[in-house]
Amino acid sequence: LPKEFKQASEIIEQIEHYGYEAYFVGGCVRDLLLERKVGDIDIATSAEPHVSQEIFEKVIPVGLEHGTVIVRHKHQSYEVTTFRVDDDYSDQRHPDSVKFVKTIKQDLKRRDFTINALAMGKNGNIIDPFSGKKNLKNNLIKAVGDASDRFKEDPLRIMRALRFSSQLGFSLEAKTLDAMESVVNEIETITMERIVQETSKFFSGVYVKNGLYYFRKINITKYLPILKKNPYIIDRLPANIKPLNAFASVIAMLHFIEPDVAIRDWVKQWKCSNMIKSEAENIYEALLTYQLDGLNRWLVYRLHGCNYRDFTALVNMLFREKLTNEKVKQIRNSLPIESKKDLTINGTDLLELFPGKTPGHWMGETLDQIEKEVVLGNLSNRKNVLKEWMKWNLHETD
């Protein structure tokens, strides 16, 4: 076992020591078998939360009502969840109540797809009641149990299926796909936050092209904000689409494809943060600048805080260029400052230098100008140099 599993198996050992069962479960087992980078390591156990709380020293009770606690062990966090089934779904999203169950097999049955319904003991023994391993081998996403029931029970699973097809490059098993298509309208009952979460993971998938095939196939655009009124936007996505890691980059791309839909509309209707909004605006501006002038230091400088890899990917797919991340990184590393704060002068210095002037717009404008000259390499970021420059340049406007 890889070392992160070895360390986590100490938790399983500890639980077993007290006479309960415990297993690695879900995505971490799937990713281990796929030899993919493993995300969070989740553990399922027959011990109820209050027992886990007694067994371990550092326990954070994050979701007792779902049977989940976080166990801190050697500076790592592990979700430890009691074997459970989701009882009735009252509003199709929030399980009414959970019922703890006795066996790992019952717990695996409530999971969404066979490839996620795998458990593994501390010695690497796999528990696989739904042929998840076989489906992993055949690159197949297949619902556990009756697909239609499972998607109605929780329509978020439709979005999860799409995002796994994008992340793993897997096909959707025929019945699973049919069921997704026939209940896709139910995704309108999901909160926007969850939709954005899954959509964001969808567009960051290495096999996003594969995912998009199914995205279109089940007509999910009919039930997503903005896209429902402008379904052609999805058809206009670049044929050579590449994964984008930040959702802001996805919004920038969609706005580039259809400038009539403003970034602020995407952000509002998809309920994204202001941070995502300003990041999307930055990336979009950078794309326009690139289109006009190509790459330069000022453009790269203004991407500060944004995802450079996404910018490169967008340039390459929208403009059919062959920009490399190295090229952008090289420019970024050569920049004399990262932000205005790094300038060796500030507003106070300006006022000291021109005691006769009153504070006002001229200060911000002057600093903006200096910032650009420094970034472009026309001025060196030394106090004397900048003061000298100001004396010469501000005289006339005095």
Position among 11, 47, 67, 112 found at the interface with ligand ATP (CB under 6 A)? 112
Decide: helix, strand or coil at residue 2.
coil
Q: Which is nearer to Mg ion, 68 or 221 (CB)?
A: 68
Contact between 116 and ligand ATP by CB under 6 A: the answer reads yes
- Which residue positions form the known binding site? 27, 30, 40, 42, 111, 154, 157, 160, 163
Contact between 149 and ligand ATP by CB under 6 A: the answer reads no
Q: How many Cβ atoms are within 10 Å of 105's Cβ, its own excluded?
A: 15
Say if residues 248 and 276 touch (Cβ distance below 8 Å): yes
In 3D, which of 109, 113, 118, 112 has the Cα closest to residue 30? 118
Residue 237: CA count within 13 A, CB half-sphere: 22
In 3D, which of 64, 71, 69 has the Cα closest to residue 98? 64
Contact between 155 and ligand ATP by CB under 6 A: the answer reads no
157 binds, among Mg ion, ligand ATP, none (CB under 5 to 8 A by kind): ligand ATP
Q: Which is nearer to ligand ATP, 116 or 221 (CB)?
A: 116
Amino acid letter, residue 42: D
116 binds, among Mg ion, ligand ATP, none (CB under 5 to 8 A by kind): ligand ATP
Alpha-carbon span 114 to 64, nearest angstrom: 26
- Which residue positions form the known binding site for Mg(2+)? 40, 42
Contact between 40 and Mg ion by CB under 5 A: the answer reads yes
128 binds, among Mg ion, ligand ATP, none (CB under 5 to 8 A by kind): none
- Which residue positions form the known binding site for ATP? 27, 30, 111, 154, 157, 160, 163
Concatenate the DSSP letters of all residues of 333-350 into one string: HH-S-SSGGGSS--HHHH
Residues 9 to 38: which contact Mg ion by CB under 5 A?
27
Amino acid letter, residue 270: W
Amino acid letter, residue 311: F
Position among 41, 56, 68, 111 found at the interface with ligand ATP (CB under 6 A)? 111
Q: How far is the CA of 116 from the CAs of 60, 69, 212, in angstroms?
A: 25, 20, 21
Position among 156, 162, 250, 390 found at the interface with ligand ATP (CB under 6 A)? 156
282's tokens: 């930055």
β partners of residue 77: 72
Q: How far is the CB of 26 from ligand ATP (least distance, A)?
A: 3
Residue span 34-73 as binding mask against ligand ATP, x where in contact by CB under 6 A, dash where not: -----xx-x-------------------------------
Contact between 81 and Mg ion by CB under 5 A: the answer reads no
Length of the chain: 398
- Which residue positions form the known binding site for CTP? 27, 30, 111, 154, 157, 160, 163
β partners of residue 59: 71
Closest residue to ligand ATP, Cβ-based? 27
β partners of residue 180: none
Alpha-carbon span 84 to 253, nearest angstrom: 41
111 binds, among Mg ion, ligand ATP, none (CB under 5 to 8 A by kind): ligand ATP
Q: Which residues bind Mg ion (CB under 5 A)?
A: 27, 39-40
Q: Which residues bind ligand ATP (CB under 6 A)?
A: 26-27, 39-40, 42, 111-112, 116, 154, 156-157
